Structure 1
Amino acid sequence: MIFFGHLGLTTEAIKAYEVILHKDNKLSGKEVFVDYRYVLIGSILPDIIDKPIGAGVFRSVFHNSRIFGHTLMFSLVLILIGIYMINRNGKNNILFLGIASSIHLVLDSMWLYPNILFWPYLGWKFPARPEGNWVNSDIVRLITDPTYYLPELIGFAIIAYFFIRLFRRRQIKCFLNKGKL
């Protein structure tokens, strides 16, 4: 997945969690507020970190655009910090950043790359992954490969739905300020 697949599918997964588990506030006795700005950032955070480092600045070192941000350790550290922050000040933003980053790993099928997913447990060195020109490769796959373009189209539709809904309800400013969908 490239962009909209991560954004849309992750947002919908968190929204479904929010609606199903906290619809009547039966689980916790109080409403759980999700700041979707953190969900959106978390959904692409592994790529925000790894693409510039692994495929850009340190390409000759790593030979891989999936490194630190695509590890289970990265997501678990964010989740643990998030749990600490909930206990400390009641804010769940970092927790949802970690959960969204974890969903990114699932959407990228990182179980197919155990040496990256379980880094550093399986070794300190990241495996080299021939990247070639990944931008051109992604464009070709977006045009020809349904397993690539369908998640992007679905993700785009989900993001468009939420944007149109915010626009119609005149709540874009509320989303920008508070992250509420």
Structure 2
Amino acid sequence: MVFFGHLGPTTAVFKFYEKISKKETIDYRVVLVGSILPDLIDKPIGAFLFRNTFHNSRIFGHTLLFSLLLLLIGIGRIKKNKGNRVFTLGISTSIHLILDSMQLYKGILFWPFLGFKFPERPEGNWAEGTLQRLLTDPSYYITEIVGFIIIMYFFIKLIKNKRLNEFIRNGKL
């Protein structure tokens, strides 16, 4: 998945949780950032800056350790009544790992517990490969289309209900 395939499903999961729990304390700006945070960290480092070092565009942000650290920090902040944003970030990054099927890449997911070196993933040109998959692989383009539809649904709802500024100010959907 690239972009909307993370944003849409993660937002939908949190909206579903919000509906069944009847809690309105979710900052969806944090959800959106968290849903792509592993890629925001790893793509520049692994695919561009240190490509010849890592040979992999899924590194630190795609580890269970990264998500668990965010979750533990978030739990600590919740216990101190400092809000749930970091915890929300941790849940969002965990959903990212699920959507990227990181359980198939145990050397990355369980880093550094299975070794300190990240496994190499012969990706070739990451950007070119991603574009090719978006155009030819249904598992890629369908999730992107579904994610886009979910995000557009919420965006149109915000516009229609004149609540876009409220979303920008406090993250409420």
The TM tier, using the shorter chain, reads: over 0.9
For the Cα contact (< 8 Å) 2:73–2:86, is it kept in 1? yes
Structure 1 SS opposite 2:80: helix
1:39 aligns with 2:31: yes
- 2:11 — aligned with what? 11
Moved more, 35-44 or 134-143: 134-143
1:138 aligns with 2:122: no
Q: Deviations over 1:132-180 (max 9, x none)?
A: 1121111121111111111100000000000000001111110001000
Q: Deviations over 1:38-67 (max 9, x none)?
A: 000000000000000111111111111000
The 2-side partners of 1:54 and 1:138 are apart by 15
1:156 aligns with 2:148: yes
- How many percent identity over aligned positions? 61
The 1-side partners of 2:119 and 2:131 are apart by 24
- 2:78 — aligned with what? 86
- 1:147 — aligned with what? 139
Q: How does 1:1-181 map to 2 (within 5 A)?
A: 1-20=1-20, 22-23=21-22, 31-181=23-173
Structure 2 SS opposite 1:91: coil
Segments of 5+ residues of structure 2 without an aligned counterpart are none
User: Which aligned segments of 4 or more residues in structure 1 are displaced greater than 3 angstroms?
Assistant: none
Number of matched pairs: 173
2:10 alignment partner AA: T
> Once the 2 structures are TM-superposed, how far is the Cα of residue 118 of structure 1 from its aligned partner?
0.3
> Once the 2 structures are TM-superposed, how far is the Cα of residue 89 of structure 1 from its aligned partner?
2.4
> Once the 2 structures are TM-superposed, how far is the Cα of residue 13 of structure 1 from its aligned partner?
0.7
Q: Deviations over 1:97-156 (max 9, x none)?
A: 000000000000001100000001100000111121121111121111111111100000
Provide TM-score, normalisation by structure 2: 0.98
The 1-side partners of 2:151 and 2:163 are apart by 15
The 1-side partners of 2:82 and 2:15 are apart by 20
